[in-house]
């Protein structure tokens, strides 16, 4: 009997090894019934963008939050801000604005002012299992349970969208709440580039707002740029180099006070050398 | 006795293979990442369609909706949205959500694809 065991045990182990090799290497199960968190980075961006666009349409922050959790980002706000900046760089300004607005709403922790009415129902994902045809017998239960546990929280089912019927389809919520110019100071810092115009845009909670479009005009020209393109200096930061002796006017595209007659100041360094100073403008949502 | 021994060994080998397959396919299947959207489970796909429908309600831009749905590959946006609608109906989505998806499908059907 002991002789049999000496043969059976190695055979069992060898069989186990062959079975694992077949299951993991030769015939792995196809990728089906996956979750959004398993998507490739560019598709995750697309998914995130769709979430932001839907949020911009219905203002349902909890629905957006539940959807973002499916992507498995360690910090959804950071991910949205980073995506907004990538989109700005790709000239996808509307989508960037949606992503930035969702990031801001999440950061503020309250519902965004819904610009457009869509649904006004509580959010509840279906809790039934997929049909047999859709269900992958091997992987679906685990993943679906995760999803169900995420979406069947009472907090989700009790949410009522704060959107109410509005007469217009204005997409930018801040148009009704223009930004105020709360700070305008001339800077004489020889360490900064000559004629540097710094702009900082804050939301109502004094958090920096990425993706805000800034209009600057001068005699014979105008230009637009966005906050958040230099995240190392702040998500709500943007800058512009002013030409000496040219008067500039600055306003936010979202609606704001106008900073007019900005003329780069002439400054004197400690060694007596002259250089062109700059300005720092701070806009804040009331 | 000798032939029995090899028979046991063969049976043990088969049992090992079966155990290995069961472990590798059921208990600890291969984790996939960097997947494409067409591999998403039906409920996630339906929710994506709902997102597109919510956006369409506000923007009224079927071209944008079609581009959003195009991430699912060669399938036409309309048929993909229709699958989302079927899932939504079968799984008791809110009637408002179902209406949104229906509205999207109607717009996609009428959309020529030419901006």
Residue A1 has a pLDDT of 56
Burial of A191 (C-beta count, 10 Å sphere; 0-12/13-18/19+): exposed
In b/e form, how buried is each residue of B84-93, taking b as 16+ CB within 10 angstroms?
Answer: bbebbeebeb
- For residue A54, give the nearest of B15, B35, B55 by CB distance: B55
* 3-class secondary structure, A268: strand
Residue A170 has a pLDDT of 42
B112 Cα to chain A: minimum distance (Å): 22
Name the one residue in this structure whose structure tokens are 């180099």: A241
What is the rounded distance in angstroms from the CA atom of residue A111 to the CA atom of residue A116? 13
Q: Which of A 172-211 lie inside 8 A of B, CB atoms?
A: none
Interface test with B, best of A4, A5, A14, A16 (most B CBs within 10 A): A16
Check B20 against A128: CB less than 8 A apart: no
Name the one residue in this structure whose structure tokens are 């299992």: A129
Residue A134 has a pLDDT of 39
- Give me the long-range contacts of A93-97 (CB less than 8 A, separation at least 24): A93/A211, A93/A213, A93/A226, A95/A49, A95/A52, A95/A53, A96/A211, A96/A226, A97/A56, A97/A172, A97/A211, A97/A213
Check A20 against B23: CB less than 8 A apart: yes
Residue A143 neighbours by CB distance under 10 Å: 18
Interface test with B, best of A43, A97, A159 (most B CBs within 10 A): A43
* 3-class secondary structure, A85: helix
What is the rounded distance in angstroms from the CA atom of residue A147 to the CA atom of residue A130? 12
| Domain boundaries defined on chain A | 36-157, 177-284
ipTM of model = 0.82
Residue A160 neighbours by CB distance under 10 Å: 12
A177-284 CATH fold: Immunoglobulin-like (2.60.40)
B44 Cα to chain A: minimum distance (Å): 7
Q: Provide the 8-state DSSP code for A173.
A: G
Query: B21 to chain A: which residues are within 8 Å by CB?
Result: 19-20, 22-23
| Domain boundaries defined on chain B | 1-31, 37-110
Q: Does A134 touch chain B (CB under 8 A)?
A: yes
Q: Provide the 8-state DSSP code for B25.
A: I
Residue B113 reports pLDDT greater than 70: no
Along the 286 residues of chain A, how does pLDDT read in single tens digits? 567 778 889 999 999 999 999 988 888 877 778 889 999 999 999 999 999 999 999 999 999 999 999 999 999 988 998 898 888 888 888 888 899 889 888 887 654 444 433 343 444 444 444 443 334 433 333 333 333 334 433 334 344 444 444 444 444 444 445 889 999 988 888 888 899 999 998 888 787 887 788 899 988 888 888 887 777 777 788 899 999 889 999 999 888 888 988 999 989 888 888 889 999 999 998 8
- Strand arrangement, sheet containing A213-218: A221-226, A213-218, A247-252, A259-263
- What DSSP element (H or E) covers A214? strand A213-218
- For residue B24, give the nearest of A24, A58, A118 by CB distance: A24
- For residue A16, give the nearest of B19, B33, B95 by CB distance: B19
3-class secondary structure for B43-108?
HHHHHHHHHHHHHHHHHCCHHHHHHHHHHHCCCCHHHHHHHHHHHHHHCCCCHHHHHHHHHHHHHH
């Amino acid at each position: 009997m002991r002789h049999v065991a000496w043969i059976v045990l190695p055979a069992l182990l060898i069989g186990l090894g062959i079975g694992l090799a077949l299951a993991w290497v030769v015939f792995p199960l196809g990728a089906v019934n996956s979750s959004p968190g398993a998507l490739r980075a560019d598709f995750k961006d697309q998914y995130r963008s769709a979430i932001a666009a839907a949020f911009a349409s219905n203002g349902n922050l909890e629905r957006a939050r539940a959807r973002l959790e499916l992507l498995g980002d360690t910090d959804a706000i950071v991910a949205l801000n980073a995506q907004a900046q990538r989109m700005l760089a790709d000239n996808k300004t509307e989508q960037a604005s949606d992503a930035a607005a969702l990031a801001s709403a999440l950061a503020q922790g309250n519902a965004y002012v819904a610009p457009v009415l869509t649904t006004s129902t509580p959010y509840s994902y279906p809790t039934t299992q997929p049909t047999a045809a859709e269900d992958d017998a091997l992987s679906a239960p685990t993943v679906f349970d995760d999803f169900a546990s995420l979406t069947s929280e009472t907090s989700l089912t009790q949410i009522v969208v704060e959107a109410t019927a509005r007469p217009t389809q204005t997409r930018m919520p801040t148009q009704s709440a223009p930004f105020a110019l709360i700070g305008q100071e001339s800077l004489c810092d020889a360490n900064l580039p000559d004629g540097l115009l710094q702009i900082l845009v804050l939301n109502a909670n004094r958090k920096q707002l990425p993706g805000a479009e800034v209009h600057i005009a001068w005699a014979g020209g105008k230009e637009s740029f966005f906050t958040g393109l230099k995240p190392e200096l702040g998500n709500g930061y943007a800058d512009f180099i002013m030409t000496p002796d040219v008067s500039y006017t600055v306003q936010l595209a979202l609606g704001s006070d106008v900073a007019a007659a900005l003329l780069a100041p002439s400054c004197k360094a400690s060694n007596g050398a002259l250089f062109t100073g700059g300005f720092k403008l701070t806009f804040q949502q009331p | 006795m000798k032939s029995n021994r090899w028979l046991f060994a063969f049976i043990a080998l088969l049992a090992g293979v079966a155990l290995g397959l069961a472990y590798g396919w059921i208990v600890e299947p291969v984790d996939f990442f960097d997947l494409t959207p067409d591999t998403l489970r039906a409920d996630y796909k339906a929710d994506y369609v709902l997102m597109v429908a919510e956006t369409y309600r506000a923007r009224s831009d079927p071209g944008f909706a079609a581009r959003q749905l195009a991430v699912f590959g060669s399938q036409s946006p309309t048929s993909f949205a229709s699958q989302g609608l079927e899932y939504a109906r079968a799984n008791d989505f809110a009637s408002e959500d179902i209406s949104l998806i229906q509205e999207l499908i109607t717009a996609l059907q009428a959309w020529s694809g030419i901006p």
